[in-house]
A and B are shown apart, each in its own frame.
Chain A
Amino acid sequence: MELILQQAPIVIRSLNIGFLQTLKLFVITLIGALPLGLIISFGSMSSWAPLAFIGRNMERKNGRATAASRFFTGFCPISLIVKIIVWVFRGTPLMLQLLIIYYFPGLVWGNPIWGSGESGRFLASAVAFIINYACYFSEIYRGGIQGVPRGQQEAGQVLGMTKGQIFFKVTLLQMVKRIVPPMGNECITLVKDTSLARIIALQEIIWAGQAFLKGSQGISGAIWPLFFTGVYYLIFTGVVTLLLGWLERKLSYFRA
Chain B
Amino acid sequence: MKKLTKILALVLALALCVALCACSSGGSGTPASTGSSLDEYKDKDGNLPTEAPEGTEAPEGTETPEVVETAEATDSQYVKDKGVLIVGITDFAPMDYKDENGEWIGFDADMAKAFAAHLGVNVEFVEIDWDNKVLELDGKTIDCVWNGMTLREEVLNSMECSKPYCNNAQVVIVPVDVADQYQTADSIKDLAFAVEAGSAGEDMAVDYELNYTPVKSQADAIMEVASKTSDAAIIDSLMAAAMVGEGTGYENLTYTVGLNSEEYGVGFRKGSDLADMLDQFFAASYSDGTMIECAETYGVQAALIAQ
Contacts and interface: CB of A to CB of B under 8 A. Distances in A.
Nearest to B9: A46
Contact of A201 (B1, B100, B127): B127
A64 interface: no
B1 to A, nearest CB: 6
Interface in B70-105: 86, 90-93, 97-98, 100
Given A47-B2, A166-B1, A115 B35 contact: no
B58 to A, nearest CB: 14
A45 B12 CA distance: 11
Contacts of B127: 201, 203
Interface stretch (A22-30, A176-184, A214-222): A214-222
Interface in A127-161: 127, 153
A91 interface: no
A103 interface: yes
B140 A110 contact: yes
A55 interface: no
Contacts of B2: 47
Nearest to B78: A110
B218 A214 contact: yes
A33 B5 CA distance: 20
Interface stretch (B174-182, B236-244, B290-298): B236-244
A221 B27 contact: no
B217 A220 contact: no
A99 to B, nearest CB: 8
Contacts of B15: 39
Interface string A20-55: 000000000000000010011011011110000000
Nearest to B126: A116
Chain A interface mostly: helix
Contact of B219 (A166, A198, A210): A210
B28 A110 contact: no
Given A40-B12, A45-B5, A112-B32, A117 B124 contact: yes
B132 interface: yes
Interface string A207-231: 0001111111101111110000000
A221 B244 contact: yes
A1 B36 CA distance: 54
B219 A214 contact: yes
Chain A interface: which size bin?
Answer: 35 or more
Contacts of A113: 24, 27-28, 30, 33
A111 interface: yes
A42 B5 contact: yes
Q: Which of A3, A120, A215 has the most CB of B within 10 A?
A: A215
Contacts of A214: 90-92, 217-219, 239, 243
B222 interface: yes
A222 B91 CA distance: 14
A107 B217 contact: no
Contacts of B123: none
Contact of A111 (B35, B98, B219, B226): B35
A238 interface: no
Interface of A: 3, 36, 39-40, 42-43, 45-48, 78-79, 82, 99, 102-107, 109-118, 120, 127, 153, 163-164, 166-167, 198-201, 203, 210-217, 219-224
12 contacts: A43-B13, A47-B6, A111-B40, A114-B27, A120-B32, A127-B23, A212-B249, A215-B92, A220-B243, A220-B249, A221-B219, A222-B248
Interface of B: 1-6, 8-13, 15-16, 19, 23-24, 27-28, 30-33, 35-37, 40, 86, 90-93, 97-98, 100, 124, 126-129, 132, 135-136, 138-142, 217-220, 222-223, 226, 239, 242-244, 248-250
Given A78-B9, A115-B31, 19 more contacts: A39-B15, A43-B13, A46-B5, A78-B13, A102-B139, A106-B138, A112-B35, A116-B140, A117-B32, A117-B126, A163-B4, A200-B129, A201-B127, A210-B219, A214-B218, A215-B91, A215-B93, A222-B248, A223-B249
